[in-house]
Amino acid sequence: MSCCVSGAEFPNAVALRALNDEIMLASRTVEEGLRQTDLSVPAIHCGGCIQKIETTLAALPGVEQARVNLSTKRVSIRWHAATTPPPFIEALNQIGYGAHLYDTASDGKDKTQTELVRALAVAGFAASNIMLLSVSVWSGAEPATRDLFHWLSALIAFPALAYSGRIFFRSAWQALRHGQTNMDVPISIGVLLAFGLSLYETIHHGQHAYFDASITLLFFLLIGRTLDHVMRERARTAVRGLANLAARGALVVAPDGAQNYLPVEKIETGMTILLAAGERVPVDALVLKGRSELDCSLVSGESLPQPAQEGATLQAGTLNLTGPLTIVATAAAQNSFLAEMVRMMEAAESGRSVYRRIADRASQLYAPVVHLTALLTFIGWMIIEGDVHHALTIAIAVLIITCPCALGLAVPMVQIVAARRLFEQGIMVKDGGALERLAEIDSVVFDKTGTLTMGEPKLTKHTGNTETLALAAAIALHSRHPYSRALAAAGRKGIGQFEITNISEHAGAGVEAEIGGSHYRLGRPEWAAPDAKPGTAETPRVVLARDGHLLASFDFDDELRPDTNAAITALKRDGLAIEVLSGDRAAPVQALAAQLGLPHIAHVSPGEKSAHVAAIAAAGHRALMVGDGLNDAPALVAAHVSMAPASAADINRNAADLVFLRESLLAVPQAIEVARRARVLVRQNLMLAVSYNLVAVPLAIMGGVTPLVAAIAMSGSSLIVVGNALRLGRTHMQKHEEPRPAAGISPSRDFPQEFAEAAR
Amino acid sequence: MMDFLYLVPIALVLGLIGLVAFMWTLRSGQYDDLDGAAERILHDDEDKPLPSKKKAPR
């Protein structure tokens, strides 16, 4: 299965250290003597993967059963509780799948969805059977038969209404209790009155009963509700399945020398922590011992690896790259950088005005108008005829016919189709409100590192020939430093031809190796080849030297995200104001902004970012914030709407309204375009719903609505609205690139694909 | 003319059977992994149904 190889990941050193305690913690007892563990394996993507993973895991001792869920990209493993947890994660890594524990506690497997589907099934059953009986009545049944059929309908409708209607009644009651109204209030009133009136008519051998109307209405509305929920849940699952980039715990050394793996929450100020290369700093800390380099890109937006040695202070969330460090915690988790960001996000949240969704705004106008019309109809007929029963019947018919069936579907249907479209393009939408807000924006604020750029260096130029490149790549393969990975990726072709011995990495300097009796150094110029002239100040330089003589030098640059230029051009064409807001140093930000022709602000603190975005809002503009770093998180919340790439920090992915999984930055203009087209269709649908009422309501007021007319009118208007919504799925988007096979769900930042292939 | 006296109950019972069958498939988790089910049909080896999920509510 070649497709499996492309999605494979290099063994994840962090995951390898997920200790048995942690697995124990994340597992639960399913039966006597059996425990179940759920793993998230983002690289699962085909039938071959299923088979490979299930056979491998089932072969492990102690494993009772392993089952892959392809839709959610998870594996659930049942194992015998008597043994220590079998090495699932190692086994998966060996066959090329990165895996991490899936926190079932945060899952709460979707009770709502099951409830909705059940309610939908019951409503569907009831609606079809009642309609069957109603059609017989409409075709002119004799009075005795008609009464019998009405009673049968009532018998079916009552339990169905009680069961399936709950969802609407509950929400309507919630709203009423808080003195508000929402779309569910007129729905509930209409459905209940229709049922009540029909029951009354049935008891008194009346000619018309509206059981079919009230249940069919529920059925249609439940379809919309269920699809809406399924779509959002799918987006949530996809986002939750991404690798957890925050530190989960750390190896703490007790004063007596004992080493314990503690979860982050248990780490206290003053504890000594051993931090291996490849681990993230769990809490704010001070370096006691060791030399290394740190990747701060996710925390501060700083694009170059930062050296760290004794006495340096580290912020929680930075990634230790090259050497092991002994650090001492200077703050507990709740006082660390991450917690501070969460507090700032809360502050930004409270400062943002609450957005009211279109459907809620519409229903606020709609409900009073409808109820007033019904009341006036009743009064009017009382004046004309003075017959309470007849006046009441017509007033209720008005309520039934205006029951916002089309309105209730008008908005969600469009948003479901839009979310589906975006899903196919690898963009996850958290909820429909996000699409409405996205359609309103007039400016876009980009973070730089990790958003406009990939957040990882790429080899831009090198002196020397293909052989020196291959040689450098072969040596670089043994280091986790970002430059080494970039080199390994660039020169992976001839990598196999060298026999490397005595390889060692020197933190903050480079890698040393022996090949065929010669002594090679790859790393900083002043360390590898002290005689060679240093590189330019701005682009960091790495050289390869043999026995102290310079062989080749390599320049790196943070690579632009694919299609960045096209995306920026598309956004400019849409008339959006764009700016770059970065925590990185001025020089790289300026260079990038100049290249893209964008205004920029560099060296911005997280608080300033958030304040800047809030200021844009205060000036009456609506901004889309796109960012991936922890330092962007408060700004994401402060912005009108926000997007984050899949490689973003965990809290950003949770805070962002949209998450894009593919690498291409074209996701941004694509999402905006779909959102805007959805807005047009939503407006059309609302107009359709209103014009339907303009025709139907006068008819109802005149007393001309029979159950047959009501059924045709309501089904007809619902179908028109749904049909209009589906147009969004059919019409072609303006040309966009073929989806890239890379990245997918696996965050490319940690494991470039080329590197994984080169490593095997 | 009085055919409906037994036809209507038959129709209702058949509908109910369908409803109950659907509820059962829902409860036994048959819609949990639709993508996976589509792929598994291509596997040659025996693929037994999962053991009862009653003790592991999901």
A436-485 pLDDT, tens digit each = 999 999 999 998 888 888 877 778 777 777 778 888 888 887 777 778 87
Q: Would an 8 Å CB–CB cutoff place B48 in contact with chain A?
A: no
**Residue with the two structure tokens 């099934």:** A121
**Partner residues linked to A550 by β-bridges:** A545
Other CB atoms within 10 A of residue A65 CB: 15
A392 pLDDT above the threshold of 90: no
Contact A129 B11 (CB under 8 A): yes
A1 pLDDT above the threshold of 60: no
CA distance B19 to chain A (A): 7
Residue pairs spanning A and B at CB distance below 8 A: 57
Averaged pLDDT for residues A48-73: 85
Q: Would an 8 Å CB–CB cutoff place B1 in contact with chain A?
A: no
Residues of A in Cβ contact (< 8 Å) with B33: 69-72
> Do A350 and A284 touch, CB atoms closer than 8 A?
no
Contact B18 A125 (CB under 8 A): yes
CA distance B57 to chain A (A): 9
What distance in Å separates the CA atoms of residue A328 and residue A307, rounded to the nearest whole number? 17
Contact B26 A114 (CB under 8 A): yes
Contact B32 A69 (CB under 8 A): yes
CA distance B56 to chain A (A): 6
Q: Would an 8 Å CB–CB cutoff place B19 in contact with chain A?
A: yes
Helix axes A707-730, A667-701, angle to 10 degrees: 170
Closest CB to B39: pick one of A47, A118, A145: A47
Averaged pLDDT for residues B5-34: 87
Residues of B in Cβ contact (< 8 Å) with A129: 11-12, 15
Q: Please pick, among A147, A228, A447, A650, the residue that the annotation labels catalytic.
A: A447
> Do A617 and A611 touch, CB atoms closer than 8 A?
no
Closest CB to B42: pick one of A31, A47, A136: A47
Averaged pLDDT for residues A595-611: 88
CA distance A721 to chain B (A): 28
Rounded to 5°, the CA angle A473-A475-A476 comes to 60
pLDDT, mean over chain A: 80
Strands A641-645 and A623-626: parallel
Q: Is residue A447 annotated as part of the catalytic site, yes or no?
A: yes
Contact B33 A109 (CB under 8 A): no
Residues of B in Cβ contact (< 8 Å) with A122: 19
Bigger pLDDT: A622 or A518? A622
DSSP helix/strand/coil, A625: strand
Q: What is the ipTM of this complex?
A: 0.80
Share of chain A above pLDDT 70, in %: 87
A107 pLDDT above the threshold of 60: no
**Can you read off the two tokens belonging to residue B35?**
């993508």
Which pLDDT does position B26 carry in this prediction? 87
**Partner residues linked to A273 by β-bridges:** A252, A327
Ranked by mean pLDDT, the top range of A24-33, A86-95, A375-384 is: A375-384
pTM: 0.76
Residues of B in Cβ contact (< 8 Å) with A72: 33
**Residue with the two structure tokens 């876009």:** A444
Which pLDDT does position A532 carry in this prediction? 57
Tell which of A27, A28, A69 to mutate to test the B interface (max B CBs under 10 Å).
Answer: A69
Residue A491 pLDDT grade (very low, low, confident, very high; cuts 50, 70, 90): confident
Residues of B in Cβ contact (< 8 Å) with A36: 56
Closest CB to B8: pick one of A50, A72, A152: A152
Which pLDDT does position A349 carry in this prediction? 75
CA distance A368 to chain B (A): 38
What distance in Å separates the CA atoms of residue A656 and residue A641, rounded to the nearest whole number? 8
Contact B23 A118 (CB under 8 A): yes
**Residue with the two structure tokens 């200021």:** A615
Q: Give the C-alpha distances (Å, rounded to integers) separating A299 from A539, A626, A715.
A: 21, 15, 53
Residue (of A525, A153, A181) closest to A356 by Cα position: A181
Averaged pLDDT for residues A198-204: 91
Averaged pLDDT for residues A276-305: 81
Q: Would an 8 Å CB–CB cutoff place B42 in contact with chain A?
A: yes
Which pLDDT does position A157 carry in this prediction? 94
Which pLDDT does position A686 carry in this prediction? 87
Which pLDDT does position A495 carry in this prediction? 65
A2's CB contacts (< 8 A; 6+ apart) are none
**Can you read off the two tokens belonging to residue A507?**
């933190």
Bigger pLDDT: A626 or A458? A626
Q: Would an 8 Å CB–CB cutoff place B14 in contact with chain A?
A: no
Closest CB to A70: pick one of B4, B22, B33: B33
Averaged pLDDT for residues A134-148: 87
DSSP helix/strand/coil, A597: coil
**Residue with the two structure tokens 């190896």:** A251
Strand order of the β-sheet with A641-645 is A427-429, A658-660, A641-645, A623-626, A443-446, A577-581, A600-601
Residue A641 pLDDT grade (very low, low, confident, very high; cuts 50, 70, 90): very high
Rounded to 5°, the CA angle A235-A573-A455 comes to 50
Write the single-letter amino acid at A599: P
B57's CB contacts (< 8 A; 6+ apart) are none
Q: Give the C-alpha distances (Å, rounded to integers) separating A206 from A144, A202, A209, A224.
A: 11, 6, 7, 33
Residue A746 pLDDT grade (very low, low, confident, very high; cuts 50, 70, 90): very low
Strand order of the β-sheet with A518-523 is A453-462, A549-560, A541-546, A518-523, A510-515, A500-506
Chain A residue with minimal CA distance to B42? A47
